[in-house]
Amino acid sequence: MNYTQLTKRESQIMTILWNHDQEMSANDIKLASDGLSIYTISQALQYLLSIGYVEVTGIGKNKKSIARLYSPCISESDYVSSFIKKETFEEIAVHYVQSSNDIDEITKLEHLIEKKKKELTGK
C-alpha cells in the first residue's frame, strides 16, 4: 500500500501514538511531546484523520472538558516499509541476519519464513 509521506510534526505525533499502547488525547500528545503546541497537534490530528492514519477511538475527560481520544490506524512498520524498495528490503534482511548474535531472533525469523513458505505453497 502507498502511504502519504508525513511532515516532521506529523511524524512526531504518529511516533508518539505508535509508542503508546493506549489511545491519547491531543493534550496527552502535548505532554508526551517535546514542546509541540496544542494548536499544531490539533491541526496535524485533523489532517491525519482526513488521510486515515488515525481514528477517534473514544471520548475522555481532559480536566473539565471532553476530549477526543486518538489511535493510529496504520502500523509504524507498514508506514516505513512503504517507502523502501524491494531490493533495499533484501539488503536490510541480509544485514540483519548477518549482524545478529541472538539465537532467539534467528529462530523467530526461521519460523516466520517457514510459515510464509507454507502460506505461499498452500501446504
Tens digits of per-residue pLDDT, 44-65?
A: 999 999 999 999 999 998 778 8
Sorted by where each starts, the structural domains of the chain and their CATH numbers stand as 8-74 (1.10.10.10), 84-121 (no CATH)
Half-sphere CA count of 96, side-chain side, radius 13 A: 11
- Position 69 scores a pLDDT of 97
Confidence (pTM):
0.78
Return the DSSP state at 68: E
Amino acid at 76: E
Backbone angles phi, psi at 85, to 5 degrees: -70, 155
Question: Does position 12 have pLDDT exceeding 70, yes or no?
Answer: yes
